[in-house]
């Protein structure tokens, strides 16, 4: 098991509704950070969670909702 494993996760941009892919560090159980949508380049809050099976999932929010 690596200490640093980046996993792509598909989600939907809260602004433009594009289907986007974010890369999550699966070595952390939970993290919050700000990332830019690769489609519309607006900043969004990302809440990433990784299960015990190291399967990451993300929730994305408008910046103002955090
Ligand atoms: Zn977008």
Q: Which domain holds residue 50?
A: 6-65
Tell me, yes or no, whether 1 lies in a domain.
no
From ligand 1's centre to the CA of 6, what distance in Å?
21
Tell me, yes or no, whether 14 lies in a domain.
yes
Locate tokens 């809260």: which residue? 14
**What's the pTM value of the predicted model, to 2 decimals?**
0.84
The answer, yes or no, to whether residue 4 has pLDDT greater than 90, is: no
The answer to whether the CB of 34 falls within 8 A of the CB of 43 is yes
- The per-residue pLDDT for 62 is 95
From ligand 1's centre to the CA of 40, what distance in Å?
4
Q: Which residues of 25-44 are buried (b: 16+ CB within 10 A; e: fewer)?
A: ebeeeeeeeeeebeeeeeeb
* pLDDT (average), residues 41-54: 92
CA distances from 39 to 14, 20, 45 (A): 11, 7, 15
What does the CA dihedral 64, 24, 59, 63 come to, rounded to 10 degrees? 10
From ligand 1's centre to the CA of 10, what distance in Å?
13
Q: Structural domain tally of the chain?
A: 1
* pLDDT (average), residues 40-64: 93
């Amino acid at each position: 098991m690596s200490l640093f494993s980046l996993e792509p996760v598909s989600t939907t941009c809260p602004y433009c509704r594009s289907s986007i892919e974010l890369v999550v560090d699966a070595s952390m159980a939970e993290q919050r950070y700000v990332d830019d949508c690769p489609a519309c380049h607006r900043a969004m809050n990302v809440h990433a969670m990784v299960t015990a099976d190291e399967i990451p999932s993300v929730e994305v929010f408008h910046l103002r909702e955090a």
